[in-house]
Amino acid sequence: MLLEVADLHVYYGNIEALKGITLGVDSGEIVAVLGSNGAGKTTTLKTISGLLRPRSGTVTFNGANIVGRSAHEVVALGLSQVPEGRRIFNVLTVDENLSLGGYLIRRHRDLQRKRRDSVYQTFPQLAARRKQLAGTLSGGEQQMLAIGRALMSEPKLLMLDEPSLGLSPLLSRLLLKIVRQISNQGTAVLLVEQNARQALAISDRAYVIETGSIALSGKASQLAADERVQKAYLGGYEAVS
């Protein structure tokens, strides 16, 4: 396994947000993490990427335990997180945002330019806005920028936290199709989504988190057919949105 998370316990003060999460991602896979608001999806990603420290449990990436490493060191190992809510640098230009995504290769300008060009190929909409301040982009473009920025470090594993948040169904379908493409090019993906139907459609496997624990896991196609999943996460979703 490329990523193995075992029995992760994470606290905010005295509140236990993760109560023993265990999950894994293999190279080449897209793995979805589903769950309702406050279930602990973001907390899981932040702990894997080193922004949060677990009280106990291990995170093994590419064979090495990475618990206790700083977030910037984790990126260097090939694990990149697209944070919830995009968190792009709104006062910097699109180009500058991408350059920061390639901060680790900042001394290799040619390589940086090559990767930037390949991001612009993946997201042609961004190419026309290179010199524009990122804060002036539309929501969909900002999400593309957030993903493009994370791709600049050429991660082995890309973690996405609700990339379709706030986007139209059409746009989120497009975005998830691009995620599929990225995965086809050899990047493993850990995808947190509330849009369960679309997420399951592009994933190989999935986990369902409920109040800090894994409630269900299995093949994406099986979960999509599972009665409990249909009732809690698929039924009526499109109608509500």
Partner 1 sequence: MGPFLQYTINGLTVGSFYALVALGYTIVYGIIRLINFAQGDLTVVGMFLGWSLLTQFGIRLLPLPVALFLAFLIPMLGTAVTNVVILQLAYKPLLKRSLLAILITALGASLVLQNVVRLIFGPQIQAYPDIVPLNGFGIGPAHVSYLQVVLFAASILLMLALYLFTQGTPVGTAMRALAVDHDAARLMGINVDRVIQIAFVVGGLLAAASGVMLGIYYIQIQFNNGFLLGLRAFTAAVLGGIGNIPGAMAGGMIIGLLESYTAGYISSKWQDVVVFGVLILVLVIRPMGLFGERVAERM
Ligand X SMILES: Nc1ncnc2c1ncn2[C@@H]1O[C@H](COP(=O)(O)OP(=O)(O)OP(=O)(O)O)[C@@H](O)[C@H]1O
How many CB atoms are located within 10 Å of the residue 89 CB? Answer: 15
Residue 66 amino acid letter: I
> 9 φ, ψ to 5°?
-115, 120
Around 151, how many Cα atoms within 13 Å sit in the side-chain half-sphere? 27
Query: Which one among 35, 83, 148, 163 touches partner 1, defined by CB under 8 A?
Result: 83
Contact string (CB under 5 A) for Mg ion, positions 80-109, x = contact: ----x-------------------------
Residue 42 or 49: the one with the smaller Cβ distance to ligand X is 42
User: In this chain, which stretch among 20-28, 46-54, 119-127, 214-222 interacts with partner 1, using CB under 8 A?
Assistant: 46-54
Per rule CB under 8 A, is residue 42 in the interface with partner 1? no
Q: Which does 172 bind (CB under 5 to 8 A by kind): Mg ion, ligand X, partner 1, none?
A: none
Cα–Cα distance measured from residue 168 to residue 183, given in angstroms and rounded to the nearest whole number: 23
Compute the least distance from the CB of residue 150 to partner 1, in Å.
8
Cα–Cα distance measured from residue 93 to residue 148, given in angstroms and rounded to the nearest whole number: 13
User: In this chain, which stretch among 34-42, 86-94, 115-123, 199-207 interacts with partner 1, using CB under 8 A?
Assistant: 86-94
Query: Residue for token digits 């396994």?
Result: 1
Cα–Cα distance measured from residue 86 to residue 146, given in angstroms and rounded to the nearest whole number: 6
Contact string (CB under 6 A) for ligand X, positions 40-79, x = contact: xxxx------------------------------------
Residues 6 or more apart from 47 whose CB is under 8 A from it?
A: 8, 10, 18, 53, 54, 59
Contact 78, 157 (CB under 8 A): yes
Residue 35 or 140: the one with the smaller Cβ distance to ligand X is 35
Interface contacts to partner 1, rule CB under 8 A: 49-51, 70-72, 75-76, 80-81, 83, 87-92, 96, 99-101, 103-104, 106, 149-150, 153
